[in-house]
C-alpha cells in the first residue's frame, strides 16, 4: 500500500493535537506526516519541531505535496481552504462544522463527488468509545436529553461562531444518527454574555417520528459536563462523554436494575484520525462524511435562526 502524505492546516489548540496523533500513528497507519501550516510562523515552527515534521505559513505551498489534510482553522476559513485542496485532488478532514453556510457545504460535497475524493467532518463524539458501546442497547428512543457545558477560558474555545456551532453541533449530529428521522419542529433560546455570539443555548427538537430531544449547551459555565440521557420503553441509558462511562437502567420486573456498561476507553481523536486515514487508503465512506456534516449544519443553522428571531431570549 502506497504511503499517504498528510498534513495539518492550523496549529492552534486542536490542530496541535491533530499533529500529535499523526506523528504517533504514522508508522502503523502507513502515512508520511508531511507538515503543519499556520499563518503564525512561530506556532507552526514550534509544532513542527515538536512532532518532527516541516512547517509552512501558506497552505498553497502544500497543495501538490499531500494526499490528505486535516483542516483545523476558524470556521469562516473552512470553505476556502477545503475547496482549494479538493480542487487540487486532496482528501480533506474538516473540523466541525463543515462550513458556515449550506451553500458552501453543497459546493464542497459536489467537488468531492466529481473528483472521487473523501470529505470527513470532525464530529469526534461519533468515535467516543462510550457512544459506540451503547448503540446495541438502543431501541426506538422516545426522549433524549443532552448537556454540554464548558468554559471559554479554560479550553480557549473558538470565538468566531457561537455555542451552537461550537459545541451543540456535536449533540445534534449524535441525535440525528440515533433518531433517524427528520426534524419537525424547533424551539430555541440563547443569550450572549462574553462574545458577540450566543454563549448559552437551550433547544427542543421534535422529530417526525415524535421523538423529542432537549439540548443545553454553554461555554460560560465553571463546571464541565458532557452527558446524554436516552429514554426508551422500559429502560434508559446515561452516558458521560468526558469520562467514557455509561449505565443502563431497565425494569425487568417490579424493580429498577442498574448496570454499568463495559467500555474499552480510547483516545477518540486518535480513533477518528485513524479512521480517516483508513477510509482514504481503502476508498470507503467515512462514518461522518460531508453529507452527515451538512445534515448537522442544516439543523444547527435552523436553531440559530430561531434564536435570532426570538424576541424574548431567555
Whether 162 and 253 share a structural domain: yes
Whether 174 and 284 share a structural domain: no
Mean confidence (pLDDT) of the chain: 93
Q: Is residue 293 part of a domain?
A: no
Full residue range of the structural domain in which residue 10 is found? 4-125+269-288
Range name among 30-39, 139-148, 155-164, 217-226 with the lowest pLDDT average: 155-164
Residues 6+ apart with CB under 8 A from 2: none
Whether 201 and 96 share a structural domain: no
Amino acid 311: pLDDT = 46
Q: Is residue 313 part of a domain?
A: no
- CATH number, domain containing residue 212: 3.30.360.10
pLDDT tens per residue, range 24-45: 999 889 999 999 999 999 999 9
Amino acid 256: pLDDT = 84
Residues 6+ apart with CB under 8 A from 238: 227, 228, 229, 246, 247, 249
Amino acid 314: pLDDT = 36
Amino acid 195: pLDDT = 85
The pLDDT of residue 155 is above 60: no
Whether 138 and 216 share a structural domain: yes
* 3-state SS assignment for residue 91: strand
Mean pLDDT, residues 195-220: 95
Range name among 82-86, 105-109, 155-159 with the lowest pLDDT average: 155-159
Whether 137 and 81 share a structural domain: no
| Alpha-helical segments (H) within the chain | 13-25, 41-50, 78-87, 102-115, 129-134, 163, 169-179, 268-282, 290-308
* 3-state SS assignment for residue 209: coil
Residue 99 carries which DSSP code? -
Whether 148 and 232 share a structural domain: yes
Length of the chain: 314
Whether 95 and 215 share a structural domain: no
Mean pLDDT, residues 14-20: 97
CA distance 107 to 91: 15
Whether 261 and 273 share a structural domain: no
pLDDT tens per residue, range 138-148: 988 999 999 99
Residue with cell 441525535: 175
Residues 6+ apart with CB under 8 A from 57: 37, 38, 39, 40, 41, 44
Phi, psi of 309 (to 5 degrees): -100, 5
Q: What percent of the chain has pLDDT over 70?
A: 96
Amino acid 157: pLDDT = 52
Closest CA to 120 of 280, 288, 297: 288
| Alpha-helical segments (H) within 96-239 | 102-115, 129-134, 163, 169-179
Whether 303 and 156 share a structural domain: yes
Q: Is residue 186 part of a domain?
A: yes
Residues 6+ apart with CB under 8 A from 53: 19, 23, 33, 34, 35, 36
Phi, psi of 202 (to 5 degrees): -130, 130
Whether 257 and 276 share a structural domain: no
Whether 108 and 158 share a structural domain: no
Closest CA to 286 of 121, 94, 50, 70: 121
pLDDT tens per residue, range 279-310: 999 999 999 999 999 999 999 999 999 998 87
Q: Is residue 10 part of a domain?
A: yes
Q: Is residue 236 part of a domain?
A: yes
Amino acid 39: pLDDT = 98
Whether 50 and 26 share a structural domain: yes
Q: What percent of the chain has pLDDT over 90?
A: 83
- CATH number, domain containing residue 20: 3.40.50.720
Question: Per residue in 114-152, is it b (16+ CB within 10 Å) or e — as a string?
Answer: eeebbbbbbbbbbbbbbbebbeeeeeebeebbbbbbbeb
Amino acid 313: pLDDT = 41
Q: Is residue 70 part of a domain?
A: yes
Range name among 62-76, 150-164, 177-191, 257-271 with the lowest pLDDT average: 150-164
Number of domains in the chain: 2
Residue 7 vs residues 17, 59, 65, 124, 277: alpha-carbon distances, Å: 12, 10, 9, 19, 12
Amino acid at each position: 500500500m502506497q504511503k499517504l502524505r498528510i498534513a495539518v492546516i492550523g496549529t492552534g489548540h486542536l490542530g496541535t493535537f491533530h499533529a500529535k496523533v499523526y506523528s504517533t500513528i504514522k508508522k502503523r497507519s502507513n502515512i508520511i506526516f508531511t507538515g503543519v501550516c499556520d499563518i503564525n510562523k512561530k506556532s507552526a515552527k514550534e509544532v513542527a519541531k515538536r512532532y518532527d515534521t516541516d512547517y509552512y505559513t501558506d497552505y498553497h505551498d502544500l497543495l501538490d505535496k499531500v494526499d490528505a489534510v486535516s483542516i483545523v482553522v476558524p470556521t469562516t476559513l473552512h470553505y476556502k481552504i477545503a475547496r482549494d485542496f479538493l480542487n487540487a485532488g486532496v482528501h480533506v478532514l474538516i473540523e466541525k462544522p463543515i462550513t458556515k453556510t449550506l451553500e458552501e457545504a453543497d459546493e464542497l460535497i459536489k467537488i468531492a463527488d466529481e473528483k472521487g475524493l473523501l470529505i470527513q467532518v470532525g464530529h469526534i463524539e461519533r468515535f467516543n468509545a462510550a457512544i459506540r458501546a451503547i448503540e446495541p442497547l438502543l431501541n426506538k428512543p422516545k426522549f433524549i436529553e443532552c448537556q454540554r457545558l464548558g468554559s471559554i477560558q479554560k479550553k480557549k474555545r473558538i470565538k468566531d461562531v457561537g455555542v451552537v456551532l461550537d459545541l451543540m453541533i456535536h449533540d445534534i449530529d449524535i441525535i440525528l444518527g440515533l433518531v433517524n428521522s427528520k426534524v419537525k419542529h424547533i424551539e430555541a433560546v440563547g443569550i450572549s454574555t462574553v462574545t458577540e455570539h450566543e454563549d448559552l443555548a437551550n433547544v427542543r427538537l421534535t422529530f417526525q417520528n415524535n421523538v423529542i430531544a432537549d439540548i443545553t449547551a454553554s461555554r460560560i459555565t465553571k463546571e464541565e459536563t458532557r452527558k446524554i440521557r436516552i429514554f426508551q420503553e422500559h429502560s434508559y441509558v446515561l452516558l458521560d462523554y468526558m469520562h467514557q462511562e455509561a449505565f443502563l437502567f431497565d425494569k425487568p420486573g417490579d424493580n429498577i436494575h442498574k448496570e454499568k456498561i463495559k467500555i474499552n476507553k480510547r483516545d477518540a481523536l486518535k480513533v477518528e484520525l485513524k479512521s480517516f486515514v483508513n477510509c482514504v487508503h481503502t476508498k470507503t465512506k467515512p462514518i461522518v462524511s460531508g453529507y452527515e456534516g451538512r445534515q448537522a449544519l442544516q439543523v444547527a443553522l435552523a436553531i440559530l435562526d430561531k434564536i435570532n428571531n426570538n424576541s424574548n431570549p431567555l
